[in-house]
Structure 1
Amino acid sequence: MDVGSTNSAVPSAPAYNSHEFWSSLSPAGLSDVVKDLCDALRPHLNTGALRVGSVLLSGPSGSGKVMAVRAVCSCLNLHLFKVDCVSLCGDTSGAAEEKIQMAFAQAQQYRPCVLLLKDIELLGRDRDMLGEDARVIATLRQLLLDRDPALSHPVLVIGTTCRPQDVPADVQTAFLHEVKIEALSEEQRRSMLSVLTASLPLGKEVNLAKLARRTAGFVLGDFCALLSHSSRAACTRIQASSFLGGLSEEVERDFCTAGFPVLEEDFSVALDQLHDAHSQAVGAPKIPSVSWQDVGGLHEVKKEILDTIQLPLEHPELLSLGLCRSGLLLYGPPGTGKTLLAKAVATTCTMTFLSVKGPELINMYVGQSEENVRNVFARARAAAPCIIFFDELDSLAPNRGRSGDSGGVMDRVVSQLLAELDGLHSSREVFVIGATNRPDLLDPALLRPGRFDKLVYVGINEDRESQLQVLSAVTRKFKLDPSVNLSSILEKCPAQLTGADIYALCSDAMMCAVKRKVEWIEEGLDTESSALILTMEDFLQAAARLQPSVSEQELLRYRHIQQKFAAC
């Protein structure tokens, strides 16, 4: 006789393979979240519990929220009933209310179970997603708070969200517990990579610890994309090799099915692709590739910056004593290399670098500019150790009360920036570097101890030795004629030059060389394949046209500013 299907009161625990990441009861990097969820829900499995067990689980997109819930259900032997909240939205409040009640009624049929409401911030919003629907919110709140004491097996509710600030307040307070998926530490990223790559053939030179340092701010979804991109890069590399050049498509497919090693260069290609995609999407931080060789001169400035940032990282005992400066302000004439210095520090200290231009955070909508500032610091904390570099800081944080905008937007932005700087003491591995040409326009509150408390003057190169170091750094990747004498070139230049002036000198010399080569090619005296060589004549022509970008009057004003800040 055929027997219909029945709901099991206690689901049978499947035989899990501990080496499989996706079926693990304690996934690498998410074990703390699974434990917190289990601790929050386990007491509500008791029939004497007064209220429905409910948890609001928040975390970035792709951080593994649904996977953590699956692991919790396996640990507690519970069914999982997953509902995507976008399917619960209706044309009218009544339609949405009916769909929500139906979802809870269906979950009752599978008890004991976990009702997973994915993207719960979508519920309670009106059709335009601009306001709140009080009727839907009241219904959802009642369902979350009410419990039928006659039920022997409960329905536990977990709501997930990527944007907890968008969850209506009445819905958020209806959840008994809140669990947040924090940014993965370097050790958690390494262990997650180790488990995910367990079945992937890796080259001997692949160092997972080094890869974990380069993937600051990555979540589970990013690591899955990284492995997919690196495998594709490895497949492309093998297909391009001569070994597969003459093989048939069938043999090539068999070879790919059999597996091929993923090398370090494949991971580098994949990382570059992901960083570029993230940077275009959200301005994700990444480790720059600027060495001290690219920065000529400025030895005293380098030492001050490294003492402020590198020393606390190398000596954690200083952090435990609270002896840490998190804010550094570089000020001086334009074109002296302030941005280049910040990038070189991030590369030297193996820190992610988040560059922010002041004006790009300003938005016309009320409150949006402050939220942009908060998001910058949130991204930096997720990618720690990280350097936030605020370029043109005077445009973002002018003196309050003098900005002149009718809505007081800039005053609120400055206040939000001050609040975020004060909050950096709780995250010791996030440093802030600001750069400005007009420090006299900054709000004085920014320059007090605990915020931008270290001021470093980045001046122009006035002596020939420093200028020679900058010129050597700029031309080190050029192909120069043996007759080129860099010291003789500088003798033909003005006395006071910034780094940007020297860069302009080399750019003009390169343009002269390009014009000469084009003329030779047209006359048949040269070929396009030959290397471009810069001669002494190219540099002399460029030096004759070079004009310093900073005048004597401006230099005098900057010296007065330096003396003013040095006296403070």
Structure 2
Amino acid sequence: MTFQGGFCQLVGSTNSTVPSAPAYNSNEFWSSLSPAGLSDVVKQLCDALRPHLNRHALSGVGSVLLSGPSGSGKLVAVRAACSCLNLHLFKVDCVSLCSDTSAATEEKVQVAFSQAQQYQPCVLLLKDLEVLGRDRDGLGEDARVIATLRQLLLDKDPALSHPVLVIGTTCKPQNVPTDLQTAFLHEVKIKAPSEEQRRLMLSMLTASLPLGKEVSLSKLARRTAGFVLGDFCALLSHSGRAACTRIQVLSFPGGLSEEVERDFCTAGFPVLEEDFSAALDQLHDAHSQAVGAPKIPSVSWQDIGGLQEVKKEILDTIQLPLEYPELLSLGLCRSGLLLYGPPGTGKTLLAKAVATTCTMTFLSVKGPELINMYVGQSEENVRNVFARARAAAPCIIFFDELDSLAPSRGRSGDSGGVMDRVVSQLLAELDGLHSSREVFVIGATNRPDLLDPALLRPGRFDKLVYVGISEDRESQLQVLSAVTRKFKLDPSVNLTTILDKCPAQLTGADIYALCSDAMMCAVKRKVEWIEEGLDTEKSALILTMEDFLQAAARLQPSVSEQELLRYRLIQQKFAAS
């Protein structure tokens, strides 16, 4: 707009070369130029885009492929980078660009680039890039769309006075066509935040949230291994809802009207540690429903009786590198542990207890779960397991029934050599663990003699621990005490006398079966008393000596003498090697 001779003349609008920077509040996460946990990503984006701001500096369009897990904060990082470089942001969802025909999709892509040029200098953000370049069936690649995108990314228009930079985001970089990946000049990856980055994220996100005095963000960051930005937003939402429910139940048992509840929530109320714990339980339950989602189990050493020497060897292998990383700066730490022995001796419980004690996420994998009928899918499943473990570090990968996943190569008998390729992939992933000192692998098997010998060499499953049965009464008493510690026992119950009525050699599973049978005897007796009117459902269930004696009379050892002899020979063989 100009003024000439007292008249106002409209001459149209012009794009600002430098967008006006908004007023930023350092306490607000979403408007920060350096958001906590994403500052390194923002710096990488700025370093990659800054050389392309001068149209005479470099040829080609400045382009970055930004990949990371869903909810990791890709859009937040892009916005912060645009603010740092004083660039406009033009966001396009690639799903809206897909059409029924290749020609229509190609036209929409060209229109998106043309619209971005109207806002120069700007960043064109292509969200969910992996959906472009796929045909209508989603099973193959659309060569025409890919060729158009490559041309738009690689050919720079010299007529533009200011550049148009392109950032493509994706949650699944492996699904982006190779020809499209190579068209991007730079690639930036967002990894799962470390414990310190998680603490900074929580501190920044809860800056304006009233917290209870007992809330420890450091402890909360330790419990949220593998969480990304979106998970923290869900955590705060769930914890706020739990706090509102808690106060409503305590202060207003009769309930609230919608108007009073809205005013009550607007006034604000503190979020306590119990609210965060309730929210974490909800999120962990939701994550556990996903395939292979890491979750911290709730198994303590009190749940495991005996096995003192086995506990010590496991903790020396896993806990020491975590507590004293400076003493293992040379990287000569062991990351693989193999538990072998008869079935029912507590190998799985041991692995879960270690994960709980060391505050590590626990990724349990059954060997047959990874086998797939399609060529290459089984190997990809193995790679995905280790990728999830690195994202949730510190983490323990527990391979149960390892002999079904890694049998000796050349003897598996499958015509396509599937198991041989799976074993080779597993060996490659185990060799790659030396670069990550916070990912440990524990395997459990009842048949170590069937495993591929390459797995047992130093550097892989290099520490073998035999988990045997409880042969002496003292260790059996420790196991029985651990199983019955949550039971309500009659004062007449004598655990030593119960064990004297049992067979000499028992596994942990046998003792668990003994307690389960005794519990069923007590339940049947209580049901009979309730039907006769001698007892009520509200009274506690008490186990008597007679219940245990009945269960002991029916107990049969699950491992025979011949099997025990075979396991002793296997133990001698591996101990000698």
Normalising to structure 1: TM-score of the pair?
Answer: 0.98
1:102-149 Cα shifts (integer Å, max 9, x gaps): 111111111100000111111111111111111111111111100122
- Gaps (5+ residues) in structure 1? none
1:450-477 Cα shifts (integer Å, max 9, x gaps): 1000000000000000000000000000
Provide the rounded CA distance (Å) in 2 between the counterparts of 1:384 and 1:263. Answer: 27
Provide the rounded CA distance (Å) in 2 between the counterparts of 1:137 and 1:248. Answer: 56
1:343-366 Cα shifts (integer Å, max 9, x gaps): 111111111111111111111111
Q: Displacement of 1:243 after TM fit?
A: 4.3
> Do the aligned partners of 1:318 and 1:324 also contact (CA within 8 Å) in 2?
no
Q: Displacement of 1:2 after TM fit?
A: 6.5
Query: Would the alpha carbon gap of residues 9 and 476 (structure 1) be closer, same or farther in structure 2, given more than 3 Å must change?
Result: same
Within the alignment, does 1:302 sit opposite 2:311 as a pair?
Answer: yes
Query: Would the alpha carbon gap of residues 173 and 249 (structure 1) be closer, same or farther in structure 2, given more than 3 Å must change?
Result: closer
Q: Displacement of 1:217 after TM fit?
A: 0.5
Provide the rounded CA distance (Å) in 2 between the counterparts of 1:279 and 1:250. Answer: 37
Q: Displacement of 1:245 after TM fit?
A: 3.4
Secondary structure in 1 aligned to 2:116? helix
Provide the rounded CA distance (Å) in 2 between the counterparts of 1:126 and 1:179. Answer: 26
Provide the rounded CA distance (Å) in 2 between the counterparts of 1:66 and 1:101. Answer: 22
Provide the rounded CA distance (Å) in 1 between the counterparts of 2:326 and 2:241. Answer: 43
Secondary structure in 2 aligned to 1:282? coil
> Do the aligned partners of 1:354 and 1:389 also contact (CA within 8 Å) in 2?
yes
1:206-237 Cα shifts (integer Å, max 9, x gaps): 10000000001100000000000111111111
Q: Displacement of 1:92 after TM fit?
A: 1.4
Secondary structure in 1 aligned to 2:339? strand
Query: Would the alpha carbon gap of residues 124 and 247 (structure 1) be closer, same or farther in structure 2, given more than 3 Å must change?
Result: closer
Query: Would the alpha carbon gap of residues 401 and 246 (structure 1) be closer, same or farther in structure 2, given more than 3 Å must change?
Result: closer
> Do the aligned partners of 1:59 and 1:182 also contact (CA within 8 Å) in 2?
yes
Residue from 507, 514, 534 that aligns with 2:523: 514
1:155-212 Cα shifts (integer Å, max 9, x gaps): 0000001111111111111111100001101000000000101111111111000000
Provide the rounded CA distance (Å) in 1 between the counterparts of 2:485 and 2:418. Answer: 46
Within the alignment, does 1:170 sit opposite 2:199 as a pair?
Answer: no
Q: Displacement of 1:5 after TM fit?
A: 4.3
> Do the aligned partners of 1:287 and 1:347 also contact (CA within 8 Å) in 2?
yes
Provide the rounded CA distance (Å) in 2 between the counterparts of 1:346 and 1:441. Answer: 27
Q: Displacement of 1:522 after TM fit?
A: 0.8
Q: Displacement of 1:9 after TM fit?
A: 2.0
> Do the aligned partners of 2:248 and 2:255 also contact (CA within 8 Å) in 1?
no
Secondary structure in 2 aligned to 1:244? coil
Secondary structure in 1 aligned to 2:365? strand
Secondary structure in 1 aligned to 2:64? strand
1:319-339 Cα shifts (integer Å, max 9, x gaps): 312220000000000000000
Query: Would the alpha carbon gap of residues 118 and 247 (structure 1) be closer, same or farther in structure 2, given more than 3 Å must change?
Result: closer
Query: Would the alpha carbon gap of residues 419 and 247 (structure 1) be closer, same or farther in structure 2, given more than 3 Å must change?
Result: closer
Q: Displacement of 1:247 after TM fit?
A: 5.6
Q: Quick check: 159-168 or 493-502, which moved more?
A: 159-168
Normalising to structure 2: TM-score of the pair?
Answer: 0.97
Within the alignment, does 1:434 sit opposite 2:443 as a pair?
Answer: yes
Q: Displacement of 1:251 after TM fit?
A: 3.1
Q: Displacement of 1:151 after TM fit?
A: 1.8
Q: Displacement of 1:406 after TM fit?
A: 2.0
Q: Displacement of 1:242 after TM fit?
A: 4.2
Within the alignment, does 1:554 sit opposite 2:563 as a pair?
Answer: yes
Q: Displacement of 1:91 after TM fit?
A: 1.3
> Do the aligned partners of 1:238 and 1:244 also contact (CA within 8 Å) in 2?
no
> Do the aligned partners of 2:249 and 2:255 also contact (CA within 8 Å) in 1?
no
Q: Quick check: 450-459 or 143-152, which moved more?
A: 143-152
Provide the rounded CA distance (Å) in 2 between the counterparts of 1:457 and 1:358. Answer: 20
Secondary structure in 1 aligned to 2:343? coil
> Do the aligned partners of 1:327 and 1:453 also contact (CA within 8 Å) in 2?
yes
Query: Would the alpha carbon gap of residues 246 and 268 (structure 1) be closer, same or farther in structure 2, given more than 3 Å must change?
Result: closer
1:414-433 alignment runs, 5 A limit = 414-433=423-442
Q: Quick check: 381-390 or 537-546, which moved more?
A: 381-390
Secondary structure in 2 aligned to 1:7? coil
Provide the rounded CA distance (Å) in 2 between the counterparts of 1:361 and 1:203. Answer: 44
- Gaps (5+ residues) in structure 2? 1-8
Provide the rounded CA distance (Å) in 2 between the counterparts of 1:480 and 1:19. Answer: 56
Q: Displacement of 1:411 after TM fit?
A: 1.2
1:253-294 Cα shifts (integer Å, max 9, x gaps): 322210111111111111111111111123221221111110
